[in-house]
């Protein structure tokens, strides 16, 4: 029934009889539909209503049968009462015409002592008359949909004659603006209404201040972006400058050679790194804006020398260094390629004392590795990276800084383990005890950049640079309780997860 029709029907029913009970006036219409119509009328003050919840007792098919024909035991009794000689079981079944009624009925009739057996084994009535209480109960329930004795009702339910169900109904009465027709209400004041003057007599629909706004399905930040913005905040408050990371493709020179990664290093293997096939090769490293006056050729030559022959007190790797290999284009495997570029630019700067000034840089962006995809690895992920360049830094300083930095992320009690990176010496993996997992988990990698790398750039000998990196996915997965990285990134991501994920706050110590 369309709501309009039902609302009008309600008005007509109320006109005849107010108040009315919706379950009586509209027994076949679901209560949600009735409520819709009543709300519509109530919003116009045409009706008032209250909701009444009650249990209704309903006859099961067997109960219906008893209400119509009498209980099984009463039917058996009636059949026997008119047979003075008594009846055999077969005769009884024939008279009643329902074996099941006879089977249950005779048992109960015996128990009630309504019937007995003759000497030759026939059934006969043992009374003049009986009172069929069950039938009366069924008829009461049929007409009133309830039963006054709750214990008895429970008993009838157990006998599967009756069931109960919850009924929502509405007690409705006329409202102040009751009428038989729903007045046309205007929801908007239109230009036409003003021009014609019809606004003067129009009825306007009142504002519904309780209406929920429609869900806007606006864009949502990805959880990685939310954690990223928290981390950026930490870097900014510690005086870091954000590096421009807007290039996914790098040359081998910046991604590897500048970082003193030898050209035979397994990380440079096609198994680990994605190489670009078209174009295959980069230009020589060069300035990207006219203000950059650095001598890139000299730098290139230094890098070649330090790898191939050794320089700056290092014996180098002593292999024939290939410019061609260095120019190969790759999808960057770490954001340390950007850090190298920034440190090279820093080497060109002159502070008040004519030397490169101390600097703190960070970045959070995507990197690519030719990994076999599994629950914790994707071929692309995000790296959080920081570098600190200053004079006379020490390893102890790096460890203290890590305590402060990770402490701001809510990660404390760091442990360090010696590690190897071609570009740092010493190198340390950073671990933290994860309470949920009950073990130490690796949270980052760090080190002091090597002289081979820094001095090739022209940075002064006594300028030291800390570097460290971690994945953005690891803390995000821990924060959002995700165990499979594919739920976080890639084509299997559930967009509702994005929409419904709240912003995080890292629990800062």
C-alpha span between 282 and 331 (Å, rounded): 12
> CB-wise, 169 or 445, nearer to ligand PHE?
445
Q: Give the β-pairing of 249-251 and 329-331.
A: antiparallel
* Shortest distance (Å) from residue 444 CB to ligand PHE: 7
Question: In the window 431-450, what residues touch ligand PHE (CB under 6 A)?
Answer: 445-447
Site string for ligand PHE, 363-402 (x = CB under 6 A): ----------------------x-----------------
Site string for ligand PHE, 463-492 (x = CB under 6 A): ----xxx-----------------------
* Shortest distance (Å) from residue 469 CB to ligand PHE: 3
> CB-wise, 73 or 385, nearer to ligand PHE?
385
> CB-wise, 220 or 267, nearer to ligand PHE?
267
- Collapsed DSSP state (helix, strand, coil) of residue 139: helix
> CB-wise, 307 or 334, nearer to ligand PHE?
334
Q: Which stretch binds ligand PHE (CB under 6 A): 118-126, 159-167, 242-250, 461-469?
A: 461-469
> CB-wise, 37 or 224, nearer to ligand PHE?
224
Q: Which residue has the tokens 């005086």?
A: 239
Under rule CB under 6 A, residue 164 binds ligand PHE: no
Residues 364, 232 contacting (CB under 8 angstroms): yes
* Token digits of residue 212: 């929920």
In sequence order, which residues have a C-beta less than 8 Å from that of residue 30 and are 6 or more positions away?
A: none
Nearest alpha-carbon partner for 391 in 290, 291, 460 = 460
As to burial, measured by CB atoms within 10 angstroms (0-12 exposed, 13-18 middle, 19+ buried), residue 392 is exposed
Under rule CB under 6 A, residue 70 binds ligand PHE: no
Handedness of CA 159, 162, 167, 169 (dihedral sign): negative
C-alpha to C-alpha distances, 77 to 98, 118, 468, nearest whole angstrom? 14, 14, 96
> CB-wise, 101 or 465, nearer to ligand PHE?
465
According to CB under 6 A, which one of 311, 334, 382, 450 is a site residue for ligand PHE? 334
Residues 261, 422 contacting (CB under 8 angstroms): yes
Under rule CB under 6 A, residue 332 binds ligand PHE: no
C-alpha span between 49 and 39 (Å, rounded): 9
* Shortest distance (Å) from residue 438 CB to ligand PHE: 25
Under rule CB under 6 A, residue 455 binds ligand PHE: no
> Could you tell me the end-to-end alpha-carbon distance of the chain, in angstroms, rounded to an integer?
61
C-alpha to C-alpha distances, 410 to 40, 238, 256, 309, 441, nearest whole angstrom? 53, 15, 33, 45, 14
According to CB under 6 A, which one of 326, 424, 456, 476 is a site residue for ligand PHE? 424
* Shortest distance (Å) from residue 314 CB to ligand PHE: 18
Q: Which residues bind ligand PHE (CB under 6 A)?
A: 334, 336, 385, 421, 424, 445-447, 467-469
């Amino acid at each position: 029934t369309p709501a309009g029709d039902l609302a009008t029907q309600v008005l007509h029913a109320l006109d005849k009889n107010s108040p009315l009970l919706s379950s009586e006036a509209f027994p076949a219409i679901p209560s949600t539909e009735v409520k819709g119509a009543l709300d519509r009328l109530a919003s116009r003050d045409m009706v008032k209503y209250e909701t009444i919840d009650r249990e209704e007792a309903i006859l099961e098919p067997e109960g219906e049968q008893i209400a119509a024909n009498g209980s099984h035991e009463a039917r058996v009794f009636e059949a026997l009462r008119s047979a003075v000689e008594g009846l055999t079981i077969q005769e009884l079944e024939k008279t009643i015409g329902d074996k099941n009624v006879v089977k249950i009925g005779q048992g109960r009739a015996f128990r009630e002592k309504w019937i007995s057996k003759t000497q030759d084994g026939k059934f006969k009535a043992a009374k003049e008359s009986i009172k069929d209480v069950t039938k009366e109960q069924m008829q009461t329930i049929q007409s009133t949909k309830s039963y006054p004795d709750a214990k008895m009702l429970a008993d009838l339910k157990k006998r599967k004659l009756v069931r109960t169900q919850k009924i929502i109904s509405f007690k409705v009465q006329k409202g102040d603006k009751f009428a038989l027709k729903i007045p046309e209400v205007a929801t908007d004041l239109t230009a036409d209404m003003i021009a014609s003057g019809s606004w003067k007599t129009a009825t306007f629909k009142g504002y519904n201040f309780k209406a929920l706004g429609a869900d806007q399905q606006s864009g949502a930040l990805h959880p990685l972006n939310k954690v990223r913005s928290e981390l950026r905040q930490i870097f900014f408050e510690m005086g870091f400058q954000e590096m421009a990371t807007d290039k996914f493709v790098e040359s081998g020179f910046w991604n590897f050679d500048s970082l003193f990664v030898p050209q035979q290093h397994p990380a440079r293997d096609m198994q680990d790194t994605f190489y670009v096939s078209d174009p295959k090769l980069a230009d020589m490293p060069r300035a990207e804006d006219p203000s950059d006056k650095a001598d890139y050729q000299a730098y290139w030559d230094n890098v070649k020398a330090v790898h191939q022959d050794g320089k700056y007190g290092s014996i180098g790797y002593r292999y024939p260094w290939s410019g061609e290999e260095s120019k190969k284009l790759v999808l960057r495997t770490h954001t340390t390629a950007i850090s190298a570029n920034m440190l090279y630019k820093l080497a060109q700067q002159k502070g008040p004392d004519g030397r490169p000034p101390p600097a703190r840089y960070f970045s959070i962006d995507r990197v690519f590795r030719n990994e076999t995809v599994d629950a914790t690895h994707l071929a692309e992920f995000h790296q959080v990276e920081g570098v600190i360049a200053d004079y006379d830094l020490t390893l102890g300083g790096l460890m203290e800084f890590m305590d402060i930095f990770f402490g701001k992320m809510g990660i404390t009690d760091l442990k360090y383990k010696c590690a190897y990176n071609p570009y740092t010496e010493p190198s340390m993996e950073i671990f933290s005890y994860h309470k949920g997992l009950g073990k130490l988990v690796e949270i980052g990698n760090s080190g002091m950049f090597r002289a081979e790398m820094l001095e090739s750039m022209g940075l002064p000998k006594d300028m030291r640079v800390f570097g460290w990196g971690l994945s953005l996915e690891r803390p995000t997965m821990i924060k959002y309780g995700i165990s499979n990285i594919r739920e976080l990134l890639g084509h299997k991501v559930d967009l509702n997860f994005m929409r419904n994920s709240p912003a995080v706050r890292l629990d800062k110590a």
